[in-house]
């Protein structure tokens, strides 16, 4: 199955950066120049996105002078897909020659200092999937992609993190920019109060339902990674709190922060392009 993607020969140039757009954050693809669009349904072996806010398209183009491919719509474990299916596009990106993966997602804020609408740069993660044995690298290892036992302590590129913070400062959005630890649960149900308390005790700052299997496979392939979580809600930590997690409200917050996120990623890619050896 893992051969050169069918659109490899249709493109005159190939992207060095892939961007995975989270819920209602796919507008980033709309600002690309010289776009070429492929629907998931037209791509061999690609599943279909069923989650609200995920369009189901690969959009190739240029962003701030950098060749990119934007993935409008991801596949989630809670949709019934296997971990290998969820991460299949990452290996497609690798075969296209992608070197940097930027991932965005919508997440619930566990850190008491986070506010709804904050943008969190992911500094590290806790993989409940991995701790429970659901690692996307489980099974025979394909040496074309990476080593049997990849190191994960250097998953989040400090240079990219520094460039992102510089970009946030230049754009004047530091007031709602954070750094933190991300954790993924299986979903689709939101977390219980007890579960949230456990995660907070473990040092988790934000929790969501995507991203980490993609990150693990990306690092296995040697891709450099940068992740952004948009805090779309504050998780409920008290039994006296009658607020409830609501997906419609979460999507609304994603839309509100979409413009700032687009500017941030655009500025970040410009900085990467300015440096002949950025990382």
**Residues that are catalytic:** 23, 54, 76, 78-79, 106, 209-210, 233, 247
Residue 201: phi, psi to the nearest 5?
-65, -30
Task: Return the H-helix or E-strand segment holding 181.
Answer: strand 177-184
Query: Cα(171)–Cα(179) distance, rounded to whole angstroms?
Result: 17
- 228 contacts: CB under 8 Å, gap ≥ 6: 102, 103, 104, 105, 119, 120, 121, 122, 164, 261, 264, 265
Task: Return the H-helix or E-strand segment holding 78.
Answer: none
Closest alpha carbon to 56 in 34, 79, 33: 79
For β-strands 119-127 and 224-234, DSSP reports them as antiparallel
């Amino acid at each position: 199955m893992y051969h050169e993607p069918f659109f490899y020969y249709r493109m005159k140039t190939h992207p060095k950066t892939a961007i995975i757009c989270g819920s209602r954050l796919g507008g980033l693809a709309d600002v690309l120049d010289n776009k070429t669009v492929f629907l998931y349904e037209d791509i061999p072996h690609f599943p279909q996105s069923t989650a609200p806010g995920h369009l189901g398209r690969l959009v190739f183009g240029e962003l701030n002078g950098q060749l990119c491919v934007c993935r409008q719509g991801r596949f989630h474990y809670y949709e019934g897909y296997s971990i290998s299916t969820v991460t299949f596009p990452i290996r497609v990106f690798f075969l296209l020659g992608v070197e940097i993966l930027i991932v965005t997602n919508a997440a619930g804020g566990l850190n008491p200092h986070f506010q709804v609408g904050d943008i969190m740069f992911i500094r590290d993660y806790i993989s409940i999937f991995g701790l429970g044995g659901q690692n996307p690298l489980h099974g025979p290892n394909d040496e074309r992609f990476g080593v049997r036992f990849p190191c994960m302590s250097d998953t989040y590129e400090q240079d990219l993190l520094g460039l992102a913070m510089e970009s946030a400062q230049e754009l004047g959005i530091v007031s709602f920019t954070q750094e933190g630890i991300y954790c993924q649960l299986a979903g689709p149900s939101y977390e219980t109060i007890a579960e949230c308390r456990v995660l907070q005790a473990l040092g988790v700052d934000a929790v969501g339902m995507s991203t980490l299997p993609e990150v693990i496979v990306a690092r296995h392939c040697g891709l450099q990674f940068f992740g952004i979580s948009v805090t779309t809600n504050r998780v409920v930590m008290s039994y006296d709190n009658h607020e409830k997690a609501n997906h419609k409200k979460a999507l609304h917050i994603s839309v509100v922060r979409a413009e700032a996120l687009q500017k941030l990623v655009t500025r970040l890619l410009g900085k990467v392009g300015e440096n002949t050896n950025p990382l």
